[in-house]
Amino acid sequence: MEQDVEEASSSEEVTLRDHCIILRPLGKGSTLRIELNIITVLGHKNIFKLSHIVRTKEHIYMVKEHAAGGYLVSHTEKVGCLQEEQAHHIFTQMAYAVNYCQENSVAHRDIKAGSILMDGKGNGTV
């Protein structure tokens, strides 16, 4: 299953940059295609959903589902350490997500507080 890629003009790219958070630059060439294909195929409640892909002259953007809670690392910087129950909840979700990836022959390779996105209810996605 391959995600449709939208073509965007320069003015649409400016709008995209003004209204979205740029999380990280993507790879190039075949590495990028592999990553995008993996993301579009995986379907687990603790793996973020890819809304769509936008290609401009200079960049390719992955538009993800909204994560109202932001990154886990930012959350802990604001509020301090997590309570044990909350940490256990997030850890369990990440274990399920990693297990799902491994069952589908995918290795995540970058699980850390800075790559876990939180929804508004305290659930984590990678």
pLDDT tens, residue by residue, 94-104: 999 999 999 99
Catalytic residue among 4, 18, 110, 119: 110
So where are the chain's domains?
5-125
- Residue 1's pLDDT is 40
Q: Which CATH number does the domain 5-125 belong to among 1.10.510.10, 1.20.1070.10, 3.40.50.10860, 3.40.50.170?
A: 1.10.510.10
Indicate if 4 belongs to the active site. Answer: no
What span, in angstroms and rounded, lies between the C-alpha atoms of 106 and 5?
Answer: 23
How much is the pTM?
A: 0.71
50 DSSP β-pair partners: 64
Q: Mind listing the pLDDT tens digit for each residue in 34-59?
A: 777 777 778 889 988 877 777 777 77
Nearest to 6 by CA among 56, 41, 75: 56
76: tokens are 């802990």
Measured CA to CA, the distance from residue 75 to residue 69 in angstroms comes to 7
